[in-house]
Amino acid sequence: MPEMPRARMMEESHSRPVAEVRREGLKVRMEDVARAANVSRATVSRVLVGNPPVSPQTREQVFNAVRELGYVPNAMAQGLSKRKSDLVGLLLRDPRNPAYGQLHSLVQEAVSNHGLELITAVPHWKVGAEDELAALRRMLGLRVGGLIVSTGVIKAADLEPFLDSVPVVSVGRVEDHPRIHGVSYDEDVHGATLADKVASAGHVSVAVLIPAARVSTAENRRGSSMAVHLEGRGITVHRVETDAFGQPEAGVGRILELARDGQATAAMFPNDNRAMIFLRAARAAGLDVPGDISVTGCDGIIPGLDLIGLTTLRIPVEQVAERGVEVLERLMSNPGGAEVRHEKFAGEFVPGTTLGPVA
């Protein structure tokens, strides 16, 4: 039996109607795109991964076919076929928090500016470290070329099993691990700055909300820094500690009691959301702010803070996001070639009307 010409074999094996291919959704293959664009499979691959040389006309043909067929590239297969992946995985804590939401947006922009792609995993805000670790494992399964960890829940020790597999940069969270690069907010300076402002207003008995480290390493560090710095100035500190996960209202009731009893004339919170919850509770309880109790937060990201008048500290999200992606891109290009550094960036105090002198 005479051998069928190779070109004819390929045509017959891939000659399904475009309409039929389109209906199959994720089953569309790169060969289908190549046939629709009238180019080779290798050309389609070069266009999708951005490898030159491909003419503008050919690129347009390929992308038109991709759109028409609804083709979705196999990220895992692409990662396996290349020496290195351009895919960056971001593990992000609760984006309902404006600080995390803005960090996400800025990381996305920085990743794009560096010619990389971003995928984000956001575990449910009510769950803890184990769920976040599961999300990290899923991203590793996609063969990401680097990981950005932006959550105050996972401990550095939890990340150790991944460190030999992929570059990891801790962004926007406290980091002290000798093998993990860190680009964070200087929470010790932030706590000290806010404590100095409260002390300078004449307060000598202050309530400080301190979440447990398992709830948030960043908030724990901020609150602890506030308390230590106040105590160093001879001020009485009422440490209101909470290990309630996913409950930003935790501790508010106890601080209200301290304010009503006159035991505390100022209340300090490790983020603005907790401070806002307290402000609502104080108003409902008939307490005047700052007449009966002064209040400070920390983050400075919530829109309209200038209208609300919350005294806070604005964390440098822009600097941290850009620098974190820059460090990760360098590590992805040269794994193991950079000395581990823990860089910290301090923010700026934002004066407001919720902090006043002792009445």
Q: So where are the chain's domains?
A: 6-73, 85-186+317-346, 187-315
Residue identified by tokens 């309209």 is 304
Report the alpha-carbon distance of residue 336 to residue 149 in Å, rounded.
18
Q: Compute CA distances 52 → 42, 45, 329, whole Å.
A: 12, 11, 21
- pLDDT value of position 21: 45
Q: How many angstroms separate the CA atoms of 346 and 54, rounded?
A: 46
Do 310 and 325 contact (CB within 8 A), yes or no? Answer: no
Q: What is the pLDDT of residue 142?
A: 77
Owner of token pair 């460090």: 327
- Alpha carbon distances (Å) from 196 to 108, 186, 257: 35, 16, 24
Q: Please, what is the angle between helix 41-49 and helix 30-37, to 10°? A: 100
pLDDT confidence tier of residue 85, bands split at 50, 70 and 90: confident
Whether the Cβ atoms of residue 70 and residue 28 lie closer than 8 Å to each other: yes
Beta-bridge partners for 350? 312
Give the span between the Cα atoms of 110 and 285, in whole angstroms.
45
pLDDT at 29: 82
Position 268 confidence tier, pLDDT thresholds 50, 70, 90: very high
Looking at the predicted structure, is the pLDDT value of residue 11 above 50?
no
Least confident of 9-18, 189-198, 205-214, 258-267: 9-18
* Domain 85-186+317-346 matches domain 187-315 at the CATH topology level: yes
Cβ-contact 159, 181 below 8 angstroms: no
Over the stretch 94-106, which tens digit does the pLDDT of each residue have? Answer: 777 888 889 999 9
- Confidence check: pLDDT of 79 > 60: no
CATH T-level assignment (fold) for domain 85-186+317-346: Rossmann fold (3.40.50)
CB atoms within 10 A of CB 161: 12
- Per-residue confidence at 1, pLDDT binned at 50, 70, 90? very low
Residue 71 burial by CB count (10 A; 0-12/13-18/19+): exposed, middle or buried?
A: buried
Q: Is the pLDDT of residue 19 over 70?
A: no
Beta bridge partners of residue 119, listed in sequence order: 89
Which option is the CATH number for 187-315: 1.10.287.3240, 3.30.70.2190, 3.40.50.2300, 3.40.190.10?
3.40.50.2300
The answer on pLDDT for 51 being more than 70 is no
Torsion of the alpha carbons at 59, 61, 63 and 67, rounded to the nearest 10: 180
- Residue pair 318/300 in contact (Cβ under 8 Å)? The answer is no
Q: Please check the confidence at residue 70 and state whether its pLDDT lies above 90.
A: no
Could you tell me if 95 and 101 are in contact, meaning their C-beta atoms sit under 8 angstroms apart? yes
Query: What is the CA 330 to chain-centroid distance, rounded?
Result: 19
The topology under which CATH files domain 6-73 is 434 Repressor (Amino-terminal Domain) (1.10.260)
**Are the C-beta atoms of 136 and 88 separated by less than 8 Å?**
no
